[in-house]
Structure 1
Amino acid sequence: MAWSTREMAELAGVSLRAVRHYHDIGLIEEPERRSNGYKQYGVSHLVRLLRIKRLTALGFSLSQIADMDDAPDSGPDPRDLRALDAELAATIERLQHARAEVGALLRGRAASDQLNELPADADELTRQSLAERLVPYVLGLRSRHPGLSDLASDAPRGRQHTAGTLGKAISDLYNPAQVDVMKRLAGLLSGVDAPR
């Protein structure tokens, strides 16, 4: 069986550029050429290309693959596999942490959107539930932006004036149910922030 470069790339599911690059760095040996000058790849080339594709998909670098024994029944060095396994475990942990943060932001965003859409006649249970769902969102904001917790510290007219101004702005911008949710949220947060 003989294939052209394009046919072999298609069979292996890689780009022509990848095949050429593997030739350039010595991962795949140059095949014989047909009388018309075109390369003629055989089964051994395809097997090698599929192996390279599999090992790179696992996370091995091309230089690591070049250092591996090319025998069909051999595989990566167990030390390399353990190192790769540790690296993959760390990557999975980082991704799970990032996914948890994105989920919290989405839940918080949904809760903050619900606060903005809360009708003035919302019942007690809805108000309390919304305040509780906002706690993790606000705690996340505080951890990412610590200065938010003490906006009045640099105010020229003092904390009391700043608190009064914020209170007036909140009562002008939000309906009574929304203001009540914010008060409940402040109470829940003070319980979380209290020293133990």
Structure 2
Amino acid sequence: MAWSTRELAGLAATTVNTVRHYHRSGLLEEPNRTSNGYKQYGARHLVRLLQICRLRDLSIPLAQIESMDIGGEAPASALLAVDADLTVSIERLKRARAEIRAILAGTTATDVPSGFEHLADRLSKPERSLMLVVSQLYDESAMADLRTMIEAEAEDAGVEFDTLPLDADEAIRQQLAEALAPQLAQHLIDYRWLTDPKAHFPKGARVTQETLRETAVELYSKSQLDVLARASAIATELAAESINPTSDPNNLGVSDDR
């Protein structure tokens, strides 16, 4: 008995377009045609198509199937490669399911990077958004350090900053900057790479810096940005003094007796 393309596809639980695609890729040979041009598939075509579909169900790429002896044993290297990919996918899906269950239970958040869920409550909405962007710009090592920095900060450390009025006067901005600076300075001391973070920018310094700048401008008000700039300047000075303290001329061990 001979089958048409549609009948063959139906027997293999696939589509006509898929059969045609396998023809174009050379995986499935073209059958003979009747005098009126219709294809006539036989049992060997059906067996071949079922073998291809079986390998596709195992997630083996078409490019690898082309190099395999489908009628014989599948090359171990191809199957091992697929097995490794599936292992990674399974682990990723397990993590995704765990996070989804946690979200449904109300114990985690979706608007923070992976690994920052336990810190969501102490981050403001702009900070959460900023962390999401940063997670795409910094490498894993830097993100781990940032997570540790947030964990070390007091939970109410940024309350005044978060509620800073747009028209906050000079005195209030300076006072807030001076209050924030010591913690920032400690971060600069503990994590020296913060002074020159380019090595932690996988996407390059220009893209990273421009993205961070644009994100900050949209997330924070002008008064908040002014406070951040002031606090950063003060923190840099404090950190420099701590790392390289100025020598005390009264404690050089030089006698005034001459």
Question: Structure 1 CA distance, aligned partners of 2:22 and 2:78?
Answer: 21
Q: Quick one: which of 75, 90, 105 aligns to 2:103?
A: 105
2:127 pairs, out of 130, 135, 147, with 147
In the alignment, what sits opposite 1:15? 15
Q: Give aligned pairs, total.
A: 131
**Residues 143 and 58 of structure 1, relative CA distance in 2, 3 Å threshold:** farther
Deviations 1:87-116 (A, max 9, x none): 10110000000000000000117xxxxxxx
Find out whether 1:76 has 2:83 as its counterpart: no
Q: CA deviation at 1:143?
A: 9.1
Query: Which runs of 5 or more residues in structure 1 are unaligned?
Result: 110-137, 160-196
SS of residue in 2 equivalent to 1:108: coil
The answer to whether structure 1 residue 61 and structure 2 residue 61 are counterparts is yes
Name the SS of the counterpart of 1:92 in structure 2: helix
CA RMSD in angstroms, aligned pairs only: 2.9
Code of the aligned partner of 2:88: A
SS in structure 2 at match of 1:28: coil
For structure 2, list consecutive stretches of 5 or more residues without a partner in the other structure: 108-116, 129-154, 165-171, 177-258
Cα offset for 1:48? 0.8
Indicate the residue corresponding to 2:210 in structure 1: none
Please identify which structure carries the higher helix content: 1
Give me the whole-angstrom Cα distance separating, in 1, the residues matched to 2:96 and 2:102: 10
Q: Partner of 1:135 in structure 2?
A: none
**Aligned-pair identity (%):** 47
Counterpart residue type for residue 49 of structure 2:
L
What's the secondary structure of 1:60's corresponding residue? coil
Report what 2:33 is aligned to: 33
> Could you tell me the TM-score, scaled by structure 2's length?
0.45
Verify: 1:90 aligned to 2:88, yes or no.
yes
The Cα shift of 1:76 comes to 1.7
Compute the displacement of 1:45 (Å).
0.5
- Distance in 1, matches of 2:53 and 2:122, equals 42
Relative contact order higher in (CA < 8 Å, ≥ 6 apart): 1
Specify whether residues 143 and 79 from structure 1 end up closer, same or farther in structure 2 by C-alpha distance, changes over 3 A only: farther
